[in-house]
Amino acid sequence: MKREIRVGICGCGVIGEGLVKVLLEHSDVIRARAGASVRLAAVADKDPARLDIVRALAPSVALLDDAFELAKRDDVDIVVELIGGVDVAERLVQTALEAHKHVVTANKALLAERGAALFDLAADNGCDLYFEAAVAGAIPVIRVIRESLASDHIRSVRGIINGTSNYILSSMANEGAAFADALRAAQAAGFAEADPTLDITGGDAGHKLALIAGLAFGARVLPSDFLTEGIEQVDPRDIQYARNFGYVIRPLAVAERLENGALDLRVHPALVPKSDPLAHVDGALNAVAIQGEMVGPSFLSGLGAGAGPTATSVAGDVIDIAKNTLAGAPVRRWHLPSEGEQQLQAAGDLSSRYYLRFSVRDESGVLASLSGKLSDSGISIEVMVQDRDAGDGGTATIAILTHHAREGEVRASLNAIDDTHLTTAPTHLIRIVE
């Protein structure tokens, strides 16, 4: 029986270096839990400086500048893909699988966009393809869905799955910072990349939600198939109005099976009641709330990014594959069998309550005209507040919470209002999730 599992790491940036340290420094506990020695056999990176770091930590490890060469080595059983991106990473994973290597990746963009074919290729070659670290870092969302809740029908998954966005919104709420200042603080603290586009536009969370939808509902969807909105338009005024109304703004990802069988998938900032556990997930933390038919609610929270949490999650996948290999366990098929075409709810069909912020001229009759136009569109107002803006600009801000309404009708009404003389800037909409 094989008593040693050999690991090769492709890409030795922050996460890769963290994984090297986990495999070396925690070798005893990994051996005990895997049932065999898990040895770091090779590391590939184009940057000689990164390889020098590995050389200092583990002089006996093979060092290469070609990840594709590593993926085909006879002395590697598990290839860990940490190079990032999509096209090159896809070819690398294909190369490893075709060489009958098991693969672990933290690359959510790769799996969200190309995962279906890669999962099939893994199964065809008798290999495992694991990706726990691709969603919410050290929070075991994938394991809970695939194992703990395997016998249950999952009704919904709601969560904060991008720590950068949550850190920014938390800074705006706790310190009164403007968006740009909060972003700079996140970058200085190491919670945001130099180019934060994927994080602040919702793209990163969209990749993760596509993976969650596949596991929880058997849906093979792309991020482009569902609504994805970022946090760039959230203003300190929105933070304050939300607080006054009894809410907190959080960057949410939502996946829900509706009563008509359709899937509601969306990523956007949302007003969350202060009583909701997600409202108390602050800073760079991630959290996921899962609702099952039989088990009811489950809640997971923890660090969703960073070298330590992500490397630990990757190492957990390595241990799982090692145990499977020793036991001769069959290869997992990750996506549930799809029952025909998955129907996704159109964004315009969403029924929700809404927070609306209008910038208007501070004149008599504007408030009545605005509420009248909303009423004419069938949009019922629950709460309305008007505040005169500072300065001599003659403008005011009106903040409204609506009762439930169909999003298509709300959008049409707002577009019509913004086309009139009533507003001085585009109206801002944030959905309420309860």
124 exposure class (CB count in 10 Å sphere: 0-12, 13-18, 19+): exposed
Residue with tokens 């075409």: 341
Within 13 Å of residue 222, how many CA atoms lie on the same side as its CB? 6
Which DSSP letter does residue 383 get?
Answer: E
> What is the secondary structure of 217-283 as a DSSP string?
H-----GGGSEE--STT--HHHHHHHHHHTEEEEEEEEEEE-TTS-EEEEEEEEEEETTSGGGG--T
Contact call for residues 161 and 209 (beta carbons, < 8 A): yes
Within 13 Å of residue 413, how many CA atoms lie on the same side as its CB? 24
β-strand 102-105 against 154-160: which pairing, if any?
unpaired
Catalytic residue numbers read: 208
What gap in Å lies between CA 388 and CA 369, rounded to an integer?
17
> What is the secondary structure of 172-212 as a DSSP string?
HHHH---HHHHHHHHHHTTSS-SS-HHHHTSHHHHHHHHHH
What gap in Å lies between CA 56 and CA 365, rounded to an integer?
73
What H or E segment, with its residue span, contains residue 62? strand 62-64
Q: Identify residue 317 by its one-letter amino acid code.
A: D
